């Protein structure tokens, strides 16, 4: 019986992680495809109008501002109506947004549609970590979160690769239409295969539904409750109210700043690296290849680092990744052979996008169930302030005429700031008592404590 349940859980978790990862692949594609098009927009005013570097930075930030709003809204809504509904709605929302963006003919329409699309992207990023953490078995939560969130840099890599191969033939409008594919592929599959979190159902008092999901998936509520050392404590506030309580206020502020620092680096580089490397003398395709290597390094580095995080905890691993990224960014100013330069760019990927993947795992396993959705949403939403600033910072630094080496040094200092912030995040709270699983979930006779 136990082996049957383990096999059922394995299949269920595989489906959940696979669907979540694919969703974030398109999420990452949506957010980075613009970076692959910036050189085209800067040099071809006939596309959507004349664009300066400063305006290009602003257009890149509109989608990220939408992500901020969408993530914060999803944190409240997801803890009320459930993870599944928010994720399905997000798949549909950002797919339609990408399709409409492909039809834009002015910078104003383009910017508005980028913001609207970002709402769906933010809702998905904010909800995915909570769902995966509540299905992942103990001892593999950082790994499975890393696999899932590696979809973001994989999508970035996909955007760079497709731009190299097809931008000349399908144009920028075709690049955006690719981002609408989930509407007719991923969404129908997720409707059938993605269950609601049994831990969330139990926390909302929907014990019969939680038990039904347990039977279908093999995931036990006492396992997901063990993420923070105990099951939920009903007397404590849920959602954003719980984040503002004495137990979580300081770490929530620090984790938000940590995420903002990481995303500032992520989007500064993903938006402007092709342009920066072009100014260093590389061809258009060569510059896009650096973007591909950056995100490839993020995926491979985060997957390896997440195994270490599951063994020793995510905090020291996040700090070390930031530090490595900062050193690697500074070394981009040295005249190395191309192969060595690409290797350093891959390490930069680990220290930026890869570190952000680890941060999502850090946050998803830091909070108890009834505030986890809000915690991940805060991390994704507040962090987007850094994401918004990334394209703007890059545009400002370039427009100011700052030397290329100086721009890389500025980014290296930001990575060192991320290292410092990581060290001051308090250890995750370990509650001293557990709360029994509701009787109708566990299948045991009801007790007064369970009914309370």
> How confident is the model at residue 103, as a pLDDT?
93
Q: What angle do CA 229, 235, 69 make, to 5 degrees?
A: 80
Domain residue limits, the chain: 2-427
Tokens of 127: 């909800």
Q: Residue 256 and residue 241: Cα distance in Å, rounded? A: 16
Within 8 A by CB and 6+ apart from 201, the residues are 82, 207, 209, 210, 213
Would you list the DSSP string of 399-443? HTT--HHHHHHHHHHHHHHHHHHHHTSPPPP--S---PPPHHHH-
> How confident is the model at residue 87, as a pLDDT?
92
- How far is CA 231 from each of CA 214, 223, 226, 450, rounded to the nearest angstrom? 16, 9, 6, 12
Q: Residue 273 and residue 284: Cα distance in Å, rounded? A: 11
Q: Residue 147 and residue 135: Cα distance in Å, rounded? A: 14
Report pLDDT digits (tens) over 355-402.
888 888 888 778 877 777 778 888 877 887 887 788 788 888 888 888
Q: Which CATH number is associated with domain 2-427?
A: 1.20.1250.20
> How confident is the model at residue 303, as a pLDDT?
87
Where would I find the beta strands (DSSP E) of 112-270?
Answer: none
Residue whose tokens read 């859980």: 9
Residue whose tokens read 């594919």: 181
Contact of 243 with 249, CB cutoff 8 Å: yes
First to last CA, the chain: 31
Please tell me the total number of residues recorded for the chain in this structure: 452
Q: Residue 84 and residue 403: Cα distance in Å, rounded? A: 47
- What stretches in the chain show pLDDT beneath 50? 223-234, 431-452
Residue whose tokens read 């798949």: 91
- Rounded to two decimals, the pTM is 0.72
> How confident is the model at residue 111, as a pLDDT?
92
> How confident is the model at residue 322, as a pLDDT?
93
């Amino acid at each position: 019986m136990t082996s049957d349940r383990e096999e059922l859980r394995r299949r269920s978790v595989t489906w959940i992680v696979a669907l979540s990862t694919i969703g974030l692949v398109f999420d990452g594609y949506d957010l980075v495809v613009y970076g692959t098009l910036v050189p085209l927009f800067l040099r071809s005013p006939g596309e959507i109008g004349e664009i300066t570097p400063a305006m290009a930075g602003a257009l890149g930030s509109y989608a990220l501002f939408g992500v901020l709003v969408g993530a914060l809204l999803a944190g409240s809504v997801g803890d009320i109506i459930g993870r599944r509904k928010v994720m399905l709605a997000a798949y549909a929302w950002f797919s339609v947004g990408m399709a409409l963006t492909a039809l834009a003919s002015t910078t104003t329409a383009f910017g508005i549609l980028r913001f609207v699309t970002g709402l769906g992207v933010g809702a998905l990023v904010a909800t995915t970590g909570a769902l995966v953490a509540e299905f992942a078995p103990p001892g593999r939560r950082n790994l499975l979160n890393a696999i899932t969130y590696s979809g973001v840099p994989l999508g970035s890599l996909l955007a760079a690769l497709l731009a190299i191969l097809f931008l000349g033939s399908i144009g920028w409008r075709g690049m955006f239409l690719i981002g609408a594919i989930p509407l007719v592929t991923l969404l129908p599959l997720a409707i059938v295969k993605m269950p609601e979190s049994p831990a969330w159902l139990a926390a909302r008092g929907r014990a019969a539904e939680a038990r039904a999901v347990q039977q279908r998936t093999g995931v036990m509520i006492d396992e997901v409750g063990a993420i923070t050392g105990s099951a939920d404590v009903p007397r404590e506030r849920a959602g954003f109210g719980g984040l503002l309580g004495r137990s979580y206020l300081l770490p929530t502020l620090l984790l938000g700043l940590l995420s903002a620092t990481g995303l500032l680096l992520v989007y500064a580089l993903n938006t402007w690296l092709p342009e920066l490397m072009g100014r260093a003398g590389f061809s258009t395709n060569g510059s896009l290849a650096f973007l591909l290597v950056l995100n490839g390094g993020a995926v491979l580095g985060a997957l390896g680092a997440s195994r270490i995080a599951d063994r020793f905890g995510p905090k020291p691993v996040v700090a070390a990744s930031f530090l490595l990224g900062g050193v690697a960014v500074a070394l981009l100013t040295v005249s190395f052979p191309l192969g060595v330069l690409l290797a350093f760019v891959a390490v930069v990927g680990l220290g930026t996008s890869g570190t952000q993947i680890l941060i999502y795992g850090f946050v998803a396993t830091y909070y108890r169930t009834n505030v986890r959705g809000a915690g991940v949403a805060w991390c994704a939403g507040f962090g987007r302030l850094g994401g918004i600033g990334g394209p703007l910072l890059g545009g400002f630094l370039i427009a100011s005429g700052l030397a290329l080496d100086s721009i890389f040094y500025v980014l290296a200092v930001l990575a060192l700031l991320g290292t410092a912030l990581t060290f001051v995040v308090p250890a995750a709270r370990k509650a001293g008592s557990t709360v029994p699983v509701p009787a109708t979930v566990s299948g045991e006779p009801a007790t007064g404590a369970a009914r309370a």
